[in-house]
Amino acid sequence: MPEIFINGQAIQADGDKTVLEVAREHGQFIPYFCWHPQLSTAGNCRMCLVEVEGRGLDIACNMPVSAGMKVFTDSEEVKAHRKAILQFITLNHPVDCGICDKAGECTLQDHHYTYNGEPSVSSIPKVHATKFHDLSERILIDNERCIMCSRCVRFTNEVSKTCSLGVQERGDSSVIRASEDGRFGKDPYSDNVIDICPVGALLSKANLYKTRVWYLEPTRSVCPGCERGCSVQFWHRRAEWKLNALDQRQNTTIARVTPLDNPEVNGPWICNKGRDIAKALERPRALEAMLKGKGAGLSHAIDAARRLIAAAKSPVALVSSWGSNEELASFRKHFGSRFQSFVKTDCAAEAGEVVADNILIKPDKNPNGTAARALFGSSPPAFPAGTDLVLIWGEGCNFSVLPAGAKIIFLGSYLAPENGHADVFLPVSVQTERRGHYTNFAGVVNAFEPCFAKAPGVADAESLFAALAASVGVPA
Ligand code: SF4
Ligand code: SF4
């Protein structure tokens, strides 16, 4: 391992790494725009210039380490060049942070204040470019804000492999454009370019001007959109910025979904379905227990379900593949010997959805099928003869194939016509209201945390199973 010196600190460096990588690993920050740990090196923004004794200035992102090299990341010459680079980058930039969705998490804003902090020295009028140009149905570009780092182009070339973005024209006429065959619109990973754009050039149409990032906070979660179980952050309104009058729904809704870097599962990326998962989680909720379609108190409905369980001779349970590891264990503990239990497919791929690929997307559109199948059998082609009670936990059950005459207990979270067809309907909480773990297709266990308080009138499945088992004498 070659020994190098960064700002006087002796470092045993990995000889295959660049000065920028070694510096990052050892707590020495070097600013950059175009470099990204998961993309090839472009070296075009010049922001990571450092001084090497005896060699002068060069970019750290493309500089291999060599034994004995002495690197200075904050010398007077480096500082002067960084200022000049920031002056150059903002030469034609509109600096419209006041209305930009990226404000508050913009690398250009941060670097400008840290390393320049001065108004433009140029007296020449700025060159204007296209504002709000459609790259796809999901994404807009403000070309005036673009600093031509090329991260978005490299992402579609190297990660999503659609090669659907490129640079048109030259010099200060350069613009990022999508290929004319519409490939960018079909790229199921396209929204990752919004995250990696270091400025506010690439904008989500769904989130445009919706909120300011400083009003939001992230909660660690797991995307339930497929058995990959990508680590994500659900962003929602901070308690101290709670809306008390206008549109209070914003207090309990997911404002956006972003990836949470997890090298074991998804790296720093997620697919667009994961970005849109709030639409699935925030469908109209079932908030009232029912007996044969008529509203009932939760405790009354639990009593009715207990009586059905106590009376059944041959009960069958269809277990949710969206249940957490904790809920599955609770069901097995309380009802493992009482019900014949089979894992149900709660969600199938929707029309037009990418079913599977060799990047992230997996064919099973349920987050915890692996853990559920390890505890319970898969659904049989037909119900066992004599089935007189079916406990259905979660979505995806075709009520028309249930055995005639069998009683039905249904645990669900969303409004659906089937709720009223059950003898007992019990409303249960959703992922954003509880904590737990899912086990993905590869056996990686991943935790999710609650973002919001439980909706009034609903129960957690885990405590519901304990309550249902408690007084009917079900053997543990
Ligand atoms: S749009 Fe953003 S990511 Fe793409 S080149 Fe411009 S600044 Fe870089
Ligand atoms: S790959 Fe699967 S788990 Fe990951 S974001 Fe997409 S749908 Fe969600």
Q: Please report the beta strands in 250-381, taking only residues with DSSP state E, as ranges in sequence order.
A: 256-259, 289-291, 294-296, 315-319, 340-343, 377-378
User: In terms of C-beta density within 10 A (0-12 exposed, 13-18 middle, 19 or more buried), how is residue 264 classed?
Assistant: exposed
377-378 and 340-343 as β-strands: parallel, antiparallel, unpaired? Answer: parallel
Q: Is the CB of 270 under 6 A from ligand 2?
A: yes
DSSP 199-254: SS-EEETTTTTS--GGGEEEEEEE--SSTT--EEEEEEE-GGG--SSS-GGGGGS-
Give 69 Cα–ligand 1 centroid separation in angstroms. 33
Q: In the predicted model, is pLDDT for residue 476 greater than 50? A: no
Residue with tokens 């149900």: 344
Percentage of residues of the chain with pLDDT beyond 70: 99
pTM (2 d.p.): 0.95
CA 364 to chain centre: 18
143 in Cβ contact with 92 (< 8 Å): no
Q: Structure tokens of 132? A: 């709000």
Q: Is the CB of 225 under 6 A from ligand 2?
A: yes
Ligand nearest to the CA of 174: 1
pLDDT for the residue numbered 274: 98
Ligand 2: residue of 257, 260, 270 to mutate (most ligand atoms within 8 A of CB) is 270
Separation CA 384–CA 370 (nearest Å): 23
Calculate the average pLDDT of the chain.
Answer: 96
405 in Cβ contact with 381 (< 8 Å): no
Ligand 1: residue of 35, 38, 151, 194 to mutate (most ligand atoms within 8 A of CB) is 151
Give 175 Cα–ligand 1 centroid separation in angstroms. 9
**Residue 392, phi-psi category: left (phi > 0), alpha (psi -120 to 50), beta (remainder):** beta
pLDDT for the residue numbered 472: 58
Q: In the predicted model, is pLDDT for residue 432 greater than 60? A: yes
70-72 and 3-6 as β-strands: parallel, antiparallel, unpaired? Answer: parallel
Give 142 Cα–ligand 2 centroid separation in angstroms. 28
| Mean pLDDT, range 286-295, rounded to an integer | 97
Ligand 1: residue of 148, 155, 159, 177 to mutate (most ligand atoms within 8 A of CB) is 148
SS3 141: strand
pLDDT for the residue numbered 475: 47
List, in order, residues 6 or more apart from 271 with CB less than 8 Å away: 188, 189, 225, 230, 354, 359, 360, 361
SS3 278: helix
| Mean pLDDT, range 409-429, rounded to an integer | 97
Give 453 Cα–ligand 2 centroid separation in angstroms. 25
198 in Cβ contact with 106 (< 8 Å): yes
266 in Cβ contact with 248 (< 8 Å): no
Q: In the predicted model, is pLDDT for residue 381 greater than 90? A: no
- The closest residue, in CA terms, to atom 2 on ligand 2 is 226
Percentage of residues of the chain with pLDDT beyond 90: 94
Q: Is the CB of 274 under 6 A from ligand 2?
A: yes
The ligand 1 site (C-beta within 6 Å) comprises 141, 146-152, 176, 197-199, 201-202
pLDDT bucket at 210, cuts 50 / 70 / 90: very high
Query: Which atom of ligand 1 is nearest the CA belonging to 150?
Result: 5
Q: In the predicted model, is pLDDT for residue 183 greater than 90? A: yes
Ligand 2: residue of 273, 357, 370 to mutate (most ligand atoms within 8 A of CB) is 273
Q: What is the dihedral of CA 104, 147, 261, 105, to 10 degrees?
A: 0
Q: What is the pLDDT of residues 319-354, one digit of tens each?
A: 999 999 999 999 999 999 999 999 999 999 999 999
| Mean pLDDT, range 348-368, rounded to an integer | 97
pLDDT bucket at 382, cuts 50 / 70 / 90: confident
Q: In the predicted model, is pLDDT for residue 186 greater than 80? A: yes
Ligand nearest to the CA of 129: 1
- Phi and psi torsions of 236, nearest 5°: -150, 170
Residue with tokens 């009917």: 472
Q: What is the pLDDT of residues 48-104, one digit of tens each?
A: 999 999 999 999 999 999 999 999 999 999 999 999 999 999 999 999 999 999 999
List, in order, residues 6 or more apart from 382 with CB less than 8 Å away: none
Ligand 2: residue of 192, 257, 361 to mutate (most ligand atoms within 8 A of CB) is 361
Give 393 Cα–ligand 2 centroid separation in angstroms. 23
Of 264, 265, 254, 269, residue with least CA distance to 218: 254
Query: Which atom of ligand 2 is nearest the CA belonging to 229?
Result: 3
Q: Structure tokens of 69? A: 């090299």
Q: Is the CB of 223 under 6 A from ligand 2?
A: yes
- The closest residue, in CA terms, to atom 3 on ligand 1 is 197
Give 277 Cα–ligand 2 centroid separation in angstroms. 9
Intra-chain end-to-end CA distance of the chain, in Å:
58
Q: Please report the beta strands in 7-114, taking only residues with DSSP state E, as ranges in sequence order.
A: 9-12, 49-52, 56-59, 70-72
pLDDT for the residue numbered 348: 97
